[in-house]
Amino acid sequence: MYAFSTVIDGPFDAAVRHLTDTLKEHGPFGVVSDVDVAGILNKKLGMSKRPYRILGACNPKLANQVIEGDPDAGVLLPCNILVSEQEDGRVKVVFQDPVALLSVVDNPAAKEVGETATTMLKKVMENL
């Protein structure tokens, strides 16, 4: 398993704001990147899609622990969270599982960070 998810009520923009606020409160995680995939597909390919964004969430303390243990492991950061509008107007939030991702790093500290980050992100999910 590489992810865990939930579905929450929309509208989409309000759900993204709620997610961002909840990440700050229960991580704390900051959103360091925001990729509007639907917007990119529309602009580059002329495709019209429902809202679909990938947020990069970062807890600086945990990120630093991973990077100090293995500087190249930074390629696995930040934690991605997919936010997509469903056909019924509800919003699906899919969290990348840090345990699964960081299991590829040959460093015991990365495993601990993955477990801590997963626990934090599951708490975020429970509070949406």
Task: Determine the average pLDDT of the residues in 106-125.
Answer: 94
Per-residue pLDDT of 1-55, as tens digits, reads 899 999 999 899 999 999 999 999 987 999 999 999 999 999 999 999 999 999 9
pTM: 0.95
- Report the number of distinct structural domains present in the chain: 1
- CA-CA distance, 116 to 12, in Å (whole number)? 28
Q: Tens of pLDDT along 64-113? A: 999 999 999 999 999 999 999 999 999 999 999 999 999 999 988 899 99
Q: What is the pLDDT of residue 107?
A: 87
Give all strands of the β-sheet with 30-36 in edge-to-edge order: 3-8, 91-96, 79-85, 52-58, 30-36
What is the spatial distance between Cα 50 and Cα 10, in angstroms, rounded to a whole number? 13
Q: Identify whether 108 is preceded by a cis peptide bond (ω within 30 of 0).
A: no
Q: What is the sign, positive or negative, of the torsion defined by CA atoms of 56, 120, 20, 42? A: positive
- Residue numbers of the domain that contains 48: 3-126
CATH number for the domain including 106? Answer: 3.30.310.70
